[in-house]
Structure 1
């Protein structure tokens, strides 16, 4: 009771009638050769109490749960990598990325209220959200940044400071109006060119950049086939490869107690630049 009271006092800016606090516990389903170490992650989140009232960015969606399970199921994909998430919402995926040892986690959202709630959630989970050049961030094992990012307004120069190895997104393919902007941002983030800075001669770093191209993983529920087709077409026109890996790379079930969570409705896409 004292814990919850202190939380309410700390986050007094929230409308207590529209936000609640939840704990999402990810637990290994079995102890076997696949998971030599038990997965046990508890994410404490401030989120919307009603996702249908317009506060969608502060809601916990099935795709976010699915993508979080994917991160925990395949930690080697994300460990020691710079991970950049689009439309991060409450920040659940970022908490899981930090848990598996991502070298840097950049969470972004284009809604100021959602971004503010996300930052508070990172603090609630004792994750560092200092600026990139701060000493605290460089010395902390919790390397999480929360950034404002408008898909419509962001330019390529705005992203020059980031060279993500992995781009992520959950339920970000939802509006045909936003699809061209989303595809443009994905294309910029997945392209490794002069943004990493000029060097003289060929170095090991340059070789790594050339051979290990960035990849994106997007979890989505196809509520409107026309919108998804619009995304697939725009991606192909922009030179992006979109593969559905839901069956071949299904995550483990870390949320068996969450009966309302429908995993079957979520699809997992792997996106990369066509060579």
Structure 2
């Protein structure tokens, strides 16, 4: 374990979510992706590999963020600035940002506009659940009534143009979360808070199971991981 929090360790849920991304690349290709509690950054490496148009990794622990940036630099993926020329000119699309769920506001997330929100092993502390739900709601509300960036991007997101012809407005954001249910009470707390916030939580572990891409990693217990698909009810 490096100097820092639990985010400096690699957990089964992160491996499972990475397998899911690599198994279903079309879901994430050319999509703006935003991860909560990114830890070591493995999910970001996989998102970049499958061709996500933008990848934003976040964490609320300073030591974890330093380690994450180091890992991205080792993979030639780190972009420090939003308008960095490297983001425009090559495939280095991964940004690492500090994000405290307790302190996050809509203005902090104003420019993110994710198509997909991700998280691995971030449902573990009932104290953090209300803050997580609040941040999730803000990120998933883009494209819904009163959602983040709705007004500022109304004209931008109303249509997509292909060959000069308008197409339907883009689909609303979706969240994919991989989690190990260590404590049923905490998980139930998350489910109730999600329902109260008009978030739909569906377990897709079996219906969209990823390929077993890490059979050689004997310490990886993928059976214990659940995969959730979360959307904002209209």
TM over 0.5, yes or no?
A: yes
Pick aligned residue for 1:100 from 31, 50, 61: 50
Tell me the residue number matched to 1:147. Answer: 97
Does residue 72 (structure 1) correspond to residue 26 (structure 2)? The answer is no
Q: Which runs of 5+ in 2 are unaligned?
A: none
Q: Which runs of 4+ in 1 moved over 6 A?
A: 206-209
Measured on the aligned residues, the alpha-carbon RMSD in Å equals 2.0
Q: Which runs of 5+ in 1 are unaligned?
A: 1-17, 20-47, 49-53
| 1:1-275 alignment runs, 5 A limit | 18-19=1-2, 55-192=5-142, 193=147, 195=149, 197-198=152-153, 203-205=158-160, 210-275=169-234
> Whose relative contact order is higher, 1 or 2, with alpha carbons under 8 Å and at least 6 apart?
2
| Contact 1:86/1:107, CA 8 A, preserved across alignment | yes
Post-superposition CA distance 1:36-62 (Å, at most 9, x none) = xxxxxxxxxxxx7xxxxx731100000
Structure 1 pair 258–185 and aligned structure 2 pair: CA distance change class (3 A): same
Q: Computing the radius of gyration over CA atoms, which structure comes out larger, 1 or 2?
A: 1
* Aligned positions, number: 225
TM-score normalised over the length of structure 1: 0.78
Distance 1:274 1:201 in 2: 23
* Cα separation, partners in 2 of 1:178 and 1:194, compared to 1, 3 Å: closer
